[in-house]
Amino acid sequence: MNLFFLSWKNLWARPGSTLLSLLLLVLGVGLISFVLHFSEKLENNLIRNAKGTDLVVGAKGSPLQLVLSAVYHIDNPTGNILLADADTLRMHPMIKQSLPLSYGDSYQGFRILGTDTSALRWYDAHLKAGRVWGKSLEIVAGASVAEKLGLEVGSVFFSTHGLVSGAEAHEDAPFKVVGVLAPAGNVLDQLLLTDLSSVWEVHEHEHPEGEEAPHQITALLIRCQNAFGILAMPRQINENTRMMAAVPAFEISRLMKLLGFGAATLRGLAWVILVVSAISVFISLYTSLSSRKYEMALMRTMGGIPLVLFAMVLFEGLWLTLTGYAAGIFAGRVGMIFAGKVIDKQYHYSFTGMPWLKAEQKLLALVIVIGIVAAALPAWQAARTPISETLADA
Amino acid sequence: MLRTKDLTFSYQPETPGFHFPDFRVAAGETMLVLGESGKGKTTLLHLLAGILRPSAGEVWVGNIGLSKLKGAQLDRFRGRKIGLMLQRPHFLPALSLEENLLLAPWLAGVSQNETRMNEIAERLGILGLMHKKTYQLSQGEQQRATLARALINKPDVILADEPTSALDDKHCDSVAALLKEAAIVTGAALIVVTHDNRLKRLFRNHLTLS
């Protein structure tokens, strides 16, 4: 017999109210943990993929849409821009580096991105097998696409028009995989890279015979020489050209503000649930006392000092909140795994690794405080059970 | 082993309370305290156990006067030296019989001697019930279990409050016999407080409160 065992047993002698309190704790802790992990992963992903891209230039439309499509590859493009216009812009003295992008087709739901071979340097990616593309219709597959679709050097496939799988296939222009990338930890992992000219070749038949259509691309990623460029260029581009410039950093912070509101709402709800769970722990312990009064007196007759009774009830509160915390942290991770599956399926982004976050460690301290505060009054009440009166009343 | 002198108690000051006759019970001896309801039987028992403090007078267990012991000291002393068998068999419903029995040494702060526990349980015929919850036991089994719990810390004094009032004649005799035997085997002073007249013929030494 010891204090921990006794408290634990007492807790489960009243399974109904114990389970109710646990459920509330799991809900509160789980929700907080889930929101913490989710927003952390989301923010990490957004920031990591935008790293090094100061500006995105594309067709006029929604700047957020342009950033989502050109940087994260999760939205539709705003339209196309003329290659000639883009090439002129690339000569601008404030630009340090730029990367043309052409997209709109996909294979099995994974996007095909036409670009030039400097993309690998831009995204800090390295080949795991094969070589980079040398001519049109050659493909270098990102690490997770290659793994999920089982692509390897030598594989051949037909792209589909548009960004959803199952749409019309371009059956006259087969793509051939010539290289596979090592995991880069960014958006490149879920893309199929090819030359800009591949996209033009696949879509050539869409123009009337003999008419030479001007080459188009979808967007241009830009790295500026300095911060002044980031501030000055968008205005110049938006006012003087048929194109639009968007600043990813600015668009992300706007997006995070919008999402942050949702996260704050969920977190607020979680705090309310935590408060309710604290009340439930208190009520559960307090109401159990009246039926356990005789037990308490009995323990006193067997030599139990008031401090032991106090500690026993206090530990019942602590056991409850600590078990709730552990189960809640576990539930939050299970939730993340499911959310990760959905996001992987929809956007091909994978969320991996769930460390014990600092904020979760603080939550543990808070939960311990909740347990102590909720149990303190019932514990004190138990400690001062009058022995003689209680025994005589029975 | 147990001795009282000028024991007086009143629930409110200034009102006439109970005054109990002096008595002493030696190790291995038994005494039956009889009396109608309201004559202070339970009060006396609580005074002897140190659950109530007397207004005047003293209780000695061995050569220790209970009034000399303070708070937690008295609790520990009670746990170690006094085995209490309460009116109704009561246990912690969360625990098995075995765990309930081990609660007594744990609370008294002495070692949890399982060998001794099993010996007592075997003598009282409840060894096979050790893993049952106490509410699954029959009334007779519960009665024997409370006796086992009262004996487990080798008390100097055993106090039993109405141990037989709920039992039929057959069980009444066997519980009385078990109590007397326990007092002799453990060398404890046994005091049984009751209004059950059936016990009169089973105990020689009587004290009647009036």
Instruction: Give the bridge partners for A177, in sequence order.
Output: A139
Higher pLDDT among residues A352 and A293, named by residue: A293
Token pair of A64, please? 């957020």
Chain B residues with CB under 8 Å of a chain A CB are 42, 46, 49, 51-52, 71-72, 75-80, 84, 86-88, 90-95, 99, 102-109, 112, 149
Q: Flag whether pLDDT at A87 surpasses 80.
A: yes
pLDDT bin (cut points 50, 70, 90) of residue B37 is confident
Whether the ipTM is more than 0.90: the answer is yes
Helix spans in A110-211 (H): 119-122, 143-149, 196-203
> What is the structure's pLDDT at A165?
66
Mean pLDDT, residues A98-125? 91
Is a pLDDT exceeding 90 seen at residue B148? yes
Mutation target to probe the B interface, by most B beta carbons within 10 A, among A3, A301, A309 is: A301
Among B72, B76, B94, select the one facing A9 at the smallest CB separation: B94
Is the separation of the CB atoms in A38 and A339 below 8 Å? yes
Q: Across the interface, do B87 and A302 touch by the CB < 8 Å criterion?
A: no
pLDDT range class, residue A111, cuts 50, 70, 90:
very high
**Residue B117 pLDDT:** 94
Predicted local distance difference test score (pLDDT) of residue A382: 94
What Å distances lie between residue B22 and A183, A296, B5, B10, B203, CA to CA? 92, 31, 5, 17, 19
Work out the burial of residue B73: count CB atoms within 10 Å of its CB; fewer than 13 is exposed, 13-18 middle, 19 or more buried: exposed
User: Average pLDDT in the B85-109 region?
Assistant: 93
Query: What distance in Å separates the CA atoms of residue B8 and residue B57, rounded to the nearest whole number?
Result: 6
Half-sphere exposure of B28 (CA within 13 A, CB side): 3
In chain A, whose CA is at the least distance from the CA of B44?
Answer: A388
B36 in Cβ contact with B87 (< 8 Å): no
Q: Which of A12, A295, A301 sits opposite B49 (nearest CB)?
A: A301
Query: How many CA within 13 A on the CB side of residue A30?
Result: 19
Q: What was the pLDDT predicted at B13?
A: 75
User: If contacts are CB pairs under 8 Å, which of residues 329-388 in chain A contact chain B?
Assistant: 387-388
User: What is the model's pLDDT at position A364?
Assistant: 95
Tell me whether residues A303 and B99 touch, CB distance under 8 A.
no
pLDDT tens figures, A342-369: 888 777 777 777 888 899 999 999 999 9
- Residues of chain B in contact with residue A9, where contact means CB-CB under 8 angstroms, are 92, 94-95, 99
B93 to A13: CB separation less than 8 angstroms, yes or no: yes
Closest CA to A189 of A242, A255, A246, A142: A142
Q: Residues of A numbered 2-41 whose beta carbons fall under 8 angstroms of chain B's beta carbons: which are they? A: 2, 6, 9-10, 12-13
* List of residues 6+ apart from A257 with CB closer than 8 A: none
- The per-residue pLDDT for A202 is 78
- % residues pLDDT > 90 (chain A): 62
Residue A263's identity, in one-letter code, is A
pLDDT of residue B103 exceeding 90: yes
B78 and A12 within 8 Å at the Cβ level: the answer is no
Residue type, A98: S
- State the burial class of residue B180 (Cβ atoms within 10 Å of its Cβ: 0-12, 13-18, 19+): middle
pLDDT of res. A258: 85
pLDDT number for residue B64: 92
Query: In angstroms, rounded to a whole number, what is the distance separating the alpha carbons of residues A206 and A155?
Result: 26
For the ranges A56-60, A138-142, A298-302, B137-141, which has the lowest average pLDDT?
A: B137-141
Nearest to B107 among A12, A294, A303 (CB): A303
Q: What is the pLDDT of residue A164?
A: 67
CA distance B64 to A20: 49
Chain B CB within 8 Å of residue A291 CB? no
> How many other C-beta atoms can be found within 10 angstroms of the C-beta atom of residue A128?
14
Residue of B nearest to A384 (CA): B71
Question: H or E segment at B194?
Answer: strand B189-194
* Cβ <8 Å between A307 and B80: no
- A280 CA: distance to closest CA in chain B (Å): 21
A201 with A137: CB under 8 angstroms? yes
Rounded to two decimals, the pTM is 0.82
Does residue A294 belong to the interface with chain B, where contact is any CB pair within 8 Å?
A: yes
Q: What is the pLDDT of residues A175-222, one digit of tens each?
A: 999 999 999 888 999 999 999 988 888 776 665 555 567 888 999 999
- In this predicted structure, the answer to whether residue B61 has a pLDDT above a threshold of 90 is yes
pLDDT for B60 equals 95
Residue B160's contacts (CB-CB under 8 Å, 6 or more residues apart) are B85, B150, B179, B190, B191, B192, B193
Cβ within 8 Å, pair B103-A6: yes
- Chain-chain contact of B107 with A299 (C-beta, under 8 angstroms): yes
Contacts of B158 in chain A (CB under 8 A): none
Q: In this complex, do A295 and B109 lie within 8 Å of one another by their Cβ atoms?
A: no
B71, B75, B90: residue with CB nearest A304: B75
Asked if A88 reaches chain B (Cβ–Cβ under 8 Å), the answer is no
Residue of A nearest to B109 (CA): A303
Task: Collect all residues of chain A within an 8 Å Cβ-Cβ radius of residue B108.
Answer: 302-303
Task: Tell me the three state secondary structure of residue B156.
Answer: coil
| Mean pLDDT of the region A24-53 | 89
Residues of B in contact with A313 (CB under 8 A): none
Residue A320: band (very low, low, confident or very high) from pLDDT cuts 50, 70, 90: very high
Q: Which of A98-107, A167-176, A238-247, A282-291 has the lowest mean pLDDT?
A: A167-176
DSSP letters of A29-86? Answer: HHHHHHHHHHHHHHHHHHHHHHTT--EEEEESS-HHHHHHHHTS--S-----EEHHHH
Please name the residues in contact with B4: beta carbons below 8 A apart, sequence gap of 6 or more: B20, B22, B23, B24, B47, B48, B57, B58, B59, B60
Is A13 close to B104, i.e. CB distance below 8 A? no
Under the banding of pLDDT at 50, 70 and 90, the label for residue B2 is: very high
Q: At residue A34, does pLDDT exceed 60?
A: yes
**Cβ <8 Å between B80 and A303:** yes
Residue A230 is inside which H or E element, if any? Answer: helix A227-240
